[in-house]
Structure 1
């Protein structure tokens, strides 16, 4: 019995010590940092990948060659295309560390988004990459621009979007899971950040682009892309993008400018904010109320006012409240009239707060949203005035 026990123990260990059947040596792989989806000329799609030349990303071993290799293949299935790239590359492409997915405006406007099923289903692709729209051009061109930051376009754009969200607002930080959810959600249409190529795209492909103080080409975050019924229908400005985040309670910090006198402006830094939305059926239409509570401090003033004077703090607070209550309401009104697409999720809020009313109109929610009564209240509290209560400008005021 002892011998049988020892034998079973050894056999069990052998099963536990089996190697990975699908392992690949480091010398045989190449990491993909970004993927771009365009319409193909001879097939449904053209898929372009940005694969990293790891040696050139290391400052100790870099020799001045290109930090990435960008190639594209056409085909009718994204899955098949991703397995064809050994036409160009000697190594296996690994997609698990992908940072960026760029979709062309042409593809998004046509509603050709069925390739997302492959990205969600694939077990090797994580769901934490940024998804963006390439505005006014091809998605592949976005990946071909050499950048000062880490030399690779994808490795520059991904933190660029994250830092914009953290410092000012403007990127909705839409993961593939959230995007799919909002494509199918009743009462909410999805949005994505939109970027565009500024400058000469041909010169931007050269390594000389990162050797200049002012690059010949650079990728800039341009706007917010609006979807309706699975198709791209338009864009919002950067300020509207920030207002969108504020309405959605996703705004972290930002800076606001208010006109305190004709031609003069003061700026405040918002450090905390909370948004509450109520959405109910009233007087045969949706009745929506957006309430924003925020606080922050004075960052700068052109109005020559001492903040320690009685009533000055209240004046700044009223300026912020009145100005941005109207600006946020204008953003909502613009989307109501121009797109009839509820990107703010007011319908989804009504589904939770007034379920029976929403279910009666859910099939025609876009039109109902466009006729909704909307009220916006901003309650901003100024906590500090920076490191001084009086501006040096007051000393020279006449």
Structure 2
């Protein structure tokens, strides 16, 4: 009986401990951290990948060699190109841990985004990487810059974009699923974050770039890329990017600066924010109502106000509401006049709230959006003034 039990146990283990049919040894693979898409000189695309040198990323095994290798291949199909990289690499490239996809401004402006179909279909590529536009240069150059953080450009860019969104609100946090969804939405045009190279590209490629207090080259977040009809048509500043995120209810926390008196400013930290949008037809044209409720505290002031004084908090709240209601309105108006592209999703909101009216104008919605009226209301509440109510500076206002 014991022999039978042992035999059944061994047989069970044989079924449970079967290996993976497609396993690969660690020594046979190379992890891709980033991909860049540029226009090819002799083909439709040039695809570049940033492959990690794992030994150089570890403090215990680093020998001072290059932490990554960036190579590019031209071709008409992204799928075929990704299987050709053994022209350069000895190991098999693994794309499942890719952190960023960088698209050149030239490719995006031409509307050559059909390669995204391959990225969406590929079962080995996850959908959690950041998609960004390389402004005023080649996308491959963004991957070549040696960075202080983890030494690799892609490994630095991914958390950089995420933290900017969480701490201030300067990146839309667009994944491939969201981007594809917005490309196909009725009443919403897509956007992407934008980066640019600051400094000397040739010096930035060297490992010496991360040995300097002030690097020779660094990748900075620049602006917001606006798409219309599947093509890149323009950019918004970082300040406008935050205003855009506010209309989309995507602001988590941010810091505001208000001019409390001529030449003096106060800093406000936003800790909570909630946005509601109403979109409907009114007097024969679209009407958009953006209502923002937010709260926060005073981080610093140059106006020397004692917030314990009656009415001081109310003055700050009124100034914040007036200042940023106007700034957000100005951003929306700028997009209406310059681009006639509804990146705010007001049409998509109208489709849900006033379906019959939207269906009548959906075929020329961007034109309707451009002629629409906008009203932005901010209701900001100051909860506290940091850890003190009086400034150490001499109070000058009575």
Q: CA deviation at 1:101?
A: 0.3
Gaps of 5+ in 1: 1-6
1:112 aligned partner: 112
**In structure 1, distance between residues paired with 2:66 and 2:9:** 53
C-alpha RMSD over aligned residues: 1.7
The aligned counterpart of 2:159 is 159
Cα distance, 1:14–1:319 mapped onto 2, change above 3 Å: same
Q: Does the 8 Å CA contact 1:280/1:350 hold for their aligned counterparts?
A: yes
Q: Is the 8 A contact 2:306 2:395 kept in 1?
A: no
> Aligned partners of 2:336, 2:352: CA distance in 1, in Å?
21
TM-score (norm 2): 0.96
Deviations 1:235-272 (A, max 9, x none): 00000000011110000000000011001111100000
Answer yes or no: is 1:253 the counterpart of 2:253: yes
User: 1:358 corresponds to which residue?
Assistant: 358
The residue number in structure 2 matching 1:25 is 25
Structural mapping, 1:376-395, within 5 Å: 376-394=376-394
Q: Distance in 2 between matches of 1:179 and 1:292?
A: 25
SS of the aligned residue for 2:21 comes to coil
Q: Distance in 2 between matches of 1:46 and 1:301?
A: 51
Per-residue CA deviations over 1:47-82 (Å, capped at 9, x if unaligned) read 000000000000011011110000000000000000
Match of 1:51 in 2: 51
Structure 2 partner of 1:209: 209
Match for residue 229 of structure 1?
229
- Tell me which residue corresponds to 2:374: 374
Tell me the alpha carbon deviations over residues 279-304 of structure 1, each in whole angstroms, 9 at most, x when there is no partner.
00111100110000000000110111
| SS of the residue 2:393 aligns to | helix
* 1:64 aligned partner: 64
Q: Deviations over 1:27-62 (max 9, x none)?
A: 100000000000000110000000000000000110
Structure 2 matches for 1:259-270, cutoff 5 A?
Answer: 259-270=259-270
Check whether the contact 1:268–1:297 (CA below 8 A) recurs between aligned residues. yes
Cα pair 1:306 1:394 within 8 Å, conserved: no
What is the 5 A alignment of 1:1-398?
A: 17-394=17-394
- Structure 1 SS opposite 2:157: helix
Give the whole-Å Cα distance in 1 for the aligned partners of 2:216 and 2:317: 43
Structure 2, unmatched stretches of 5+, are 1-6
For the residue of structure 1 that corresponds to 2:246, the secondary structure is helix
CA deviation after TM superposition for structure 1 residue 393, in Å: 1.4
Query: SS in structure 1 opposite 2:394?
Result: helix
CA contact (8 A) 2:297 2:383 kept: yes
- How far residue 394 of structure 1 moved from its aligned partner, in angstroms, is 2.3
Is contact 2:198-2:217 (8 Å) kept? yes
Structure 1 residue 18 displacement after superposition: 4.2
Contact 2:227–2:234 (CA<8 Å) still a contact in 1?
Answer: yes
In the superposition, the TM-score normalised over structure 1's length comes to: 0.96
Displacement after TM superposition at 1:19 (Å) = 3.0
Kindly tell me the number of residue pairs found equivalent between the two proteins. Answer: 393
Task: Please state how far the C-alpha of 1:20 moved relative to its aligned partner.
Answer: 2.2
1:9: Cα distance to partner?
A: 11
User: Cα deviations across residues 77-115 of structure 1 (Å, max 9, x unaligned)?
Assistant: 000000000000000000000000000000000000000
